[in-house]
Structure 1
Amino acid sequence: MHSAEPEALNSQAWTRYGAHHLQRSTTVPEVDRISWGFWPTGPGAEVLGALSGLRVLDLASGLGKHAAHLVREHGATVDAVEASATQHERATTRYGNLPRLRLIHADAVEYLTQAIEQYDVIYLGSCAGLRPSGWR
């Protein structure tokens, strides 16, 4: 298997998923806490520390709902990077006018390679499906 295949398949899946919800005008749900997995268990944003006035980078931000939560409830300034065009569109439609939230459509690795900004906190909330030994 070519090493780019899982990445390409993942990108295609999220783009299709986002398109599906765009066609149906699915509402982006609000959250009252950050969930670090598939279910709302475990710690919330407190694991990131006090965020008021800090610059935060949210990688693989999806719908932007966690980034928006950090802006609204924790006083952070957040750059949210999402590779899927359709997920980014959904986030922009919902949160595009939220002050202190910048929604960026880019591959996370490419963004990090070229970013000149400095961040106080960087997190990846979508790593629940990753395992130390790799994909299964």
Structure 2
Amino acid sequence: MSLTDSWDRYAVGSKPRRTVNAKGDTTWLNWTQYADHGPNESVLGPVAGLRVLELGSGSGSNLAHLVTLGATGRGVDIAPARETVARERWGHLTDLEFRTAEATAFLNETDATFDVVLSIFGAVWFVDPDILLPLIRSRMAPGGILAFSHLPPGSHGPRPAEAGLRHDRTPDEWSRILTRHSFSDVRASLIAPPEGRVVGTMLVRGRKGG
């Protein structure tokens, strides 16, 4: 079974995201694996007018929220089923598009540049950072922001059995890796889980250096 088929099968079996959160919002950004928990889009600063790329965009809900705040969004996901769901749910929004592609293939092919690149439990977790990060950086505007989240090392998390190894790293390891790849102002931390839960969420942010 191909990597695309593996992720597509996983996507088909995934539970759809809620249409309304606990606050009554119809769009929102969620960095963690827990509902109504953790920071919001303020991690990125103001996004109005920015070009945002999400690698591993899933159902498109996080990206759609940023578009409602004035960003232009492009979502890329390896699973065709993800693009179908995203278009059905968010196709009414302008300045938002979705594409089925493997992350490194898309970055190698596109001529576009982006002010923000996101990966929320997405490609950064599953692709060798020494391959992926230079490609991301090559498609970022000067001073652009890379932000991503995933589970801490040793945690069980979402992936098809055929998807291969996750690239689990500690906050310190991510800080060193991003700095090595010419990202600056790197902030890597662990978001504590909600009460009654044990596993937190890794959140990493850095800027494209000179």
TM-score of the aligned structures, taking structure 2 as reference length: 0.51
Aligned length: 122
Instruction: Check the 8 A contact 1:83/1:106 in 2, yes or no.
Output: yes
Relative to its length, the structure with more strand (as a share) is: 2
Name the structure 1 match of 2:38. Answer: 42
Q: After TM superposition, give the deviation of residue 52 of structure 1 in Å.
A: 0.3
Q: After TM superposition, give the deviation of residue 20 of structure 1 in Å.
A: 4.1
For 1:117-136, list aligned pairs within 5 A. Answer: 117-126=112-121, 127-129=149-151, 131-132=168-169
Greater relative contact order (CA < 8 Å, ≥ 6 in sequence) = 1
Runs of 4+ in structure 1 deviating by more than 6 angstroms, as ranges, are none
Name the structure 2 match of 1:94. Answer: 89
Point out where structure 2 has 5 or more consecutive residues left out of the alignment: 20-25, 122-148, 152-166, 171-210
Instruction: Check the 8 A contact 1:60/1:83 in 2, yes or no.
Output: yes
Tell me the SS of whatever aligns to 1:46: helix
Point out where structure 1 has 5 or more consecutive residues left out of the alignment: none
Instruction: Check the 8 A contact 1:14/1:87 in 2, yes or no.
Output: no
Find the aligned partners of 1:36 and 1:20 in 2 and give their Cα distance: 21
Alignment RMSD? 2.6
Return closer, same or farther for 1:27/1:123 CA change in 2, 3 Å cut-off. Answer: closer
Q: After TM superposition, give the deviation of residue 93 of structure 1 in Å.
A: 1.2
- The answer to whether 1:62 aligns with 2:30 is no
Relative to its length, the structure with more helix (as a share) is: 1
